[in-house]
Each structure stands twice: as structure tokens, then as C-alpha cells.
Amino acid sequence: MNALNRVLSELRKIATYPMVWIVFALIIALQVYLLAQAYPNLSGMLRGVSFDTNIELFRGEVRSAGSAVLDLAAAASFQTAAFLPIVIALAIGQEYREARQLSISLLAVPRRRQFVLAKYASTAVLAIAFSIVVNLVTTIGILAAAGSWSSGLLSSPAAWLASGRFTFVCLVLALLTAGLTLVTRDVLSSIGIMIVLAVVSIGGFIGYASPAFQALLPFDAARSLLLDSSFAGSSTPLLAVLILSAWVLVFGVLGWLCVARRDA
């Protein structure tokens, strides 16, 4: 009961902090805008085909329409999830704003381990909510573009598996950002580090020198887990899950240690 109260208290903090919801809404608006921009092309390409029709969604990559649409949905959701760290950094970083809310929080929950666990649990709830909304917007967008033939596809086991993987990636990015923000005690620093990680992963700069090292980066591992095209990362899905879990574990523990050992 006490643990539940602590988590509910953290969720109240998130729910009553307007900046979180303003940024959340802007990200979803951006997703809708990007889907709307892609709508004419997608609609022209996907209407009137069937699951097994071969199409060339990306240049030089001929594949079945069903497989291509699932990958397209995953890619559309993933590009939106890249902005999730901003929401999480704001939600966690409210403790370190100039008002120094952290002291008030630790008066209420003085045991650091319990405090950090409640933070991570509320972060997970926010990440799951985010993944559901993003998935929903993507599904509606693809359905509108592809027409009725895709409705069965988007409710198929393969689609549910893809949604599960996407939720897992959102959880990882959120918990990683949460740990990072507890370490840096600064919203902009943690967002900056996540942007650098994203740019290095997606830009593939390190991959030219060391593909093995590239595979260890979180956004690269996320692509490996979510995508099944030439845009996928450089590891297998199983390895990607292990890599992503390791990132969460390391930064989760680091975040806890920083809160536990530093003066508030």
C-alpha cells in the first residue's frame, strides 16, 4: 500500500506538471503532421494491393505489401519515440528545477531506494501510455492510407508482436532517460546526451569504424528490434533486447546511486 501510494504520488506529480503534457501533445502533433505529409505517396502505393503483392516501398527493396506495411508502421512509431526522452527528462527533471522540489520530495519519501523505485515505476507508466497513443496514431494513419485490406494485417499476431516490441523500446528509452536525469540532475543535459546517442546510432558514424560497437548503442539496438528492412540496426532481436536491458540496468543503478549518495 505504501509503495502504491508512492507511485501514485509520482504519477500525480507528472499529471499536474503542464510542461510534460504540452511537449507530449506537440510530439503527437508532429507525428500526425508527418503522417499527413506522407499520406499521398503511401495512399498511391498501398491502395488496391493485397497482402502478398510485391511492392517497392523503399528504393531497391521489393517485398510483400504486408511485411512492408508492418515495417513502415514500426518505423513511423519509432521516429516519434525518439522524442520520448524529452517528455521523460521534463517529468523527472522537475525535481531539479530552480524551486528545488527534490528536498520536498525527499521529506515525503526519505528512503532513497523507495523514492527512486517510485520514480522509475511512474516513468514506466508514462512510457506505456506514450507507446499506446503513438501506436494508435500510426495504426489509424496506415489504415487511412492503405485502405481496408490492411485492417486484418494491423490486428494480426505479427502486428501485436510489433506493438509489444515498440512498447518495450519506449520503456527502455524512458527508463534510460530517467536514470540519466537522476545522474545529471539537469533536463537539458540528459536530453543532450540522448540526442547525441540517437545521432551517433542512426547516423552510423561509429559503424564505419566498428560495427560491433555500433550494435551496442541503444538506438541501434532499438532499430534491430523494431525494423526488418535495410533500416534495421546491426544486431539480432535477441541481442538487441539484452543490450537495451543492460543500458536500463546500468543507468537505473547509476541514477539510484547518485540520489542515494549525494546530499539533496
Partner 1 sequence: MIEVQNLMKRRGSTVILDSVSFTARPGRVTGFVGPNGAGKSSTLRILLGLDKATTGTALIKGRRYRDILRPLLTVGALLDDASPLPDRRVASHLKWVAQSNGIAQGRVHETLAQVELQDAAKLRVGTLSLGMKQRLGLAAALLGEPSILVLDEPVNGLDPDGIRWIRTFLRQYASRGNTVLVSSHLMSEMAATADDIVVINQGRIVSSGTLAAVTSGFDSLEDAFFSLTGRAVADNRDAD
Interface residues with partner 1 (CB under 8 A) are 1-2, 5-6, 8-10, 12-13, 16-19, 94, 97, 99-111, 263-264
What is d(CA 173, CA 151) in angstroms, rounded to the nearest whole number? 29
Query: Smallest distance, Å, CB 192 to partner 1?
Result: 22
Nearer to partner 1, 107 or 209 (CB): 107
Query: Smallest distance, Å, CB 10 to partner 1?
Result: 8
Nearer to partner 1, 99 or 249 (CB): 99
Query: Smallest distance, Å, CB 29 to partner 1?
Result: 21
Nearer to partner 1, 21 or 51 (CB): 21
Nearer to partner 1, 108 or 212 (CB): 108
Nearer to partner 1, 96 or 231 (CB): 96
Residue from 6, 206, 233, 244 nearest 122 by CA:
6
| Residue 63 bridge partners (DSSP) | 55
Query: Smallest distance, Å, CB 110 to partner 1?
Result: 4
Query: Smallest distance, Å, CB 206 to partner 1?
Result: 38
Q: Any residues with CB less than 8 A from the CB of 94 and at least 6 apart, and which?
A: 13, 17, 19, 101
- Ramachandran assignment for 232, one of left (phi > 0), alpha (psi -120 to 50 degrees), beta (any other): beta
Query: Smallest distance, Å, CB 111 to partner 1?
Result: 6
Nearer to partner 1, 55 or 106 (CB): 106
